[in-house]
Amino acid sequence: MVLLRRLDPAELALDSAEIGAGERDILSQAEMFHLHEECRAKKESLRFNTRHISVDLGVVREGWPEVSLPVANFYERCQLLVQETLHATEYLLEAHGIGPSGSSASAQAGEQHLEALYVTGGGSELPIVARTLREVFGRRVKRSAYTRSATAIGLAIQADAQAGYVLRDKFTRHFGVWREADAGQTVVFDPLFSKGTQLPAPGEPPLVQSRQYTPVHNIGHFRYLECSHLTDEGCPAGEITVWDDIRFAFDPALRNNSDLTRHRITPYSPKQTIYNLDEWPGPASFLPWIIRDPNCHILRLRGRSVRCREHPR
């Protein structure tokens, strides 16, 4: 979040106008919208020879000044994300047998040769993006004539069932849950659906991942999240989004409680228990799990397009 705020041209403009945190915090939703619209328009007007951009903060609040921002300062703040995108591109090429930067020297070593790098999307119009790509890939960079229409074109292709195209969605991030390890001494991240996992097409059965373990506490605390990368140790990294924080009563004595956050999590040795969905005493909206097996607790996470199933046995 701190990184994204530093990259925001709106933050750069407010910094230049010496507008403090107190005034920023009381900006209304409408004022924030006008601020970002003004900065978006100026950002999209950037050209290769642009040296300064003027941001009129008077459209945000009457009496605020117009500031002139050096483009070099904005590009400096963008550099880290541009390099991350470049690394992702090179990783994708190498994963398909194309050498570093797709060079012809790599092709002579038996790797495939990159003929062209097709660039689309509104972000590709930012001069620093085009310049960085050309520094690495040279004249092989080909920019689409319809960069800002990439999403609409893709949706039109997907909607045309007679065109012969088959598009399949994939997980663009790792989705998983935190688990305890070493008898509760540490926590580890268990990626239930790894990045790149293909999603089922319409009519195909949903994806299901199973885990079996013996609960050792009276309450299960399941913390699901998704992340863009995993470290070498398997920890979430990059862009991280928390999905749900769910508690489930393994102890039958607690299953009539609608708020498990008020109960301490203590050691527990479960016995074989049969849970009947019809016996659930609370509102249906509170029940985040479906239980349907007399020999083990089968937990299936409701929500969105992802279905995860846990088997504490």
- 306: pLDDT strictly greater than 60: no
**Do 151 and 279 fall into the same domain?**
no
Query: CA 264 to CA 287: how far, in whole Å?
Result: 20
Q: Which two tokens stand for residue 38?
A: 């003004």
Query: CA 121 to CA 112: how far, in whole Å?
Result: 26
User: Could you tell me if residue 164 is inside a domain?
Assistant: no
Backbone torsion region of residue 102, taken as left when φ is above 0, otherwise alpha when ψ lies between -120 and 50, otherwise beta: left
User: Could you tell me if residue 256 is inside a domain?
Assistant: yes
As for how many domains the chain has, the answer is 3
**Do 221 and 255 fall into the same domain?**
yes
**Do 97 and 39 fall into the same domain?**
no
Query: CA 294 to CA 273: how far, in whole Å?
Result: 7
User: Could you tell me if residue 114 is inside a domain?
Assistant: yes
Using H for helix, E for strand and C for coil, what is the string for the chain?
Answer: CHHHHHHCHHHHHHHHCCCCHHHHHCCCHHHHHHHHHHHHHHHHCCCCCCCEEEEEHHHCCCCCCEEEEEHHHHHHHHHHHHHHHHHHHHHHHHHCCECHHHCHHHHHCCCECCCCEEECCHHHHCHHHHHHHHHHHHHHEEECCCHHHHHHHHHHHHHCCCCCCCCCCECCCEEEEEEEECCCCEEEEEEEECCCCECCCCCCCCCCCEEEECCCECEEEEEEEEEEEECCCCCEEEEEEEEEEEEEECCHHHCCCCCHHHCCCCECCCCCCCCCHHHCCCCHHHCCCCCCCCCCCCEECCCCCCCCEEEEC
If pLDDT is split at 50, 70 and 90, which confidence band does 175 have?
A: very high
**Do 79 and 100 fall into the same domain?**
yes
Q: Which domain holds residue 123?
A: 75-159
What is the distance of C-alpha 91 from the center of its chain?
18
- 309: pLDDT strictly greater than 50: no
DSSP bridge pairs for 190: 177
49-53, 74-78, 184-188: lowest mean pLDDT where? Answer: 184-188
User: Could you tell me if residue 168 is inside a domain?
Assistant: no
**Do 136 and 240 fall into the same domain?**
no
- 277: pLDDT strictly greater than 50: no
Spell out a b/e string for 131-147, using b for 16 or more CB atoms within 10 Å of the CB, else e: ebbeebbeebbebeeee
**Do 47 and 120 fall into the same domain?**
no
Among 18, 49, 74, which residue terminates a domain? Answer: 74
Which residues contact residue 253 at a Cβ distance below 8 angstroms, ignoring those fewer than 6 apart? none
Burial of 44 (0-12, 13-18, 19+ CB in 10 A): exposed
**Do 215 and 283 fall into the same domain?**
yes
CB 50 within 8 Å of CB 42: no
Q: What does each C-alpha distance from 179 to 8, 79, 303 come to in angstroms?
A: 35, 36, 20
**Do 86 and 182 fall into the same domain?**
no
Can you tell me the mean pLDDT for 120-130? Answer: 87
Q: What is the pLDDT of residue 101?
A: 57
The model's pLDDT over 259-273, given as tens digits with 9 standing for 90+, comes to 888 888 888 776 644
105-109, 142-146, 167-171, 230-234: lowest mean pLDDT where? Answer: 105-109
The model's pLDDT over 192-232, given as tens digits with 9 standing for 90+, comes to 999 989 988 878 898 888 887 777 888 888 889 999 889 98
Among 42, 74, 106, which residue terminates a domain? Answer: 74
User: Could you tell me if residue 166 is inside a domain?
Assistant: no
Q: What is the pLDDT of residue 226?
A: 92
Spell out a b/e string for 93-128, using b for 16 or more CB atoms within 10 Å of the CB, else e: beeeebbebbbeebeeeebeebeebebbeeebbbeb
Q: What does each C-alpha distance from 278 to 268, 284, 304 come to in angstroms?
A: 25, 10, 24
